Amino acid sequence: MKKKDNFDQEEEEIIYVSRSEMKRDMLELQRLGEAIVKLSPGQFATIPLDDEVLAEAIHTARRIKHREGLRRQMQFIGKLMRKIDTRNISIAFQKLQDGRKEEARKFHELELWRDHLIETGPSATEEVVTKYPKGDRQHIRQLIMQAVKEKNANKPPASARKLFRYLKEISLKI
């Protein structure tokens, strides 16, 4: 809604924020705090927490075992987060989430490669060497042949697992 002065001097914008919107924002910050509390120590170290009180509250929440105490601590973390600028925290957390998604995507791609190699047989070795030039052609061929043999004999897929691990290893060398 815009108000105009009688003299058309200046427009003034009034921003109305509903109580529901404020509550949604508050709950979103609390969820972000809960997600940060659940991070591993290595992942938590990547989150920039400039506010010492917030950092201490998160460390305390990690130690709390009692359900009601943890719920109250999460509310406190949400309250602290409302008082600070959380853009850097949100950005760092989103980068962590994107990294996890990228790892999952690579994992599924390697699974598809393994399955394709087992279905196609040793003739697909060149495809792998083209995609992953650091791979040992002979070793890949042997793993494929063993995996195909195990599959045809209805044995546990030990060689398929070895093939997957090898594909993962050579994909990291790129």
User: Check: CATH 1.10.60 for 2-84?
Assistant: yes
The mean per-residue pLDDT over the stretch 74-100 comes to: 89
The proportion of the chain whose per-residue pLDDT surpasses 90, expressed as a percent, equals 28
Q: Are 110 and 171 in contact (CB under 8 A)?
A: yes
If DSSP codes are grouped into helix, strand and coil, which group holds residue 86?
coil
pLDDT at 26: 86
Q: Are 52 and 39 in contact (CB under 8 A)?
A: no
Dihedral sign, Cα of residue 57, residue 98, residue 83, residue 71: negative
Residue type, 132: Y
The mean per-residue pLDDT over the stretch 77-84 comes to: 89
Full-model pTM: 0.58
Q: Are 160 and 151 in contact (CB under 8 A)?
A: yes
The two three-digit tokens of residue 63, written as one number: 């130690």
The mean per-residue pLDDT over the stretch 12-37 comes to: 86
The two three-digit tokens of residue 35, written as one number: 């997600």
If DSSP codes are grouped into helix, strand and coil, which group holds residue 11?
strand
Classify burial at 58, counting beta carbons within 10 Å of its beta carbon; exposed 0-12, middle 13-18, buried 19 or more.
buried
- Asked whether this chain's domains 2-84 and 101-172 adopt the same fold, the reply is yes
pLDDT at 136: 87
Report the C-alpha gap between 33 and 54 in whole angstroms: 9
If DSSP codes are grouped into helix, strand and coil, which group holds residue 60?
helix
pLDDT tens-digit map of 139-172: 989 999 999 999 899 999 899 999 999 999 988 8
Q: Which CATH architecture has domain 101-172?
A: Orthogonal Bundle (1.10)
Domain range list for the chain: 2-84, 101-172
pLDDT tens-digit map of 38-55: 998 888 888 888 889 998
pLDDT tens-digit map of 94-145: 999 888 898 899 999 999 989 998 898 888 888 888 888 888 889 989 999 9
Residue type, 55: A
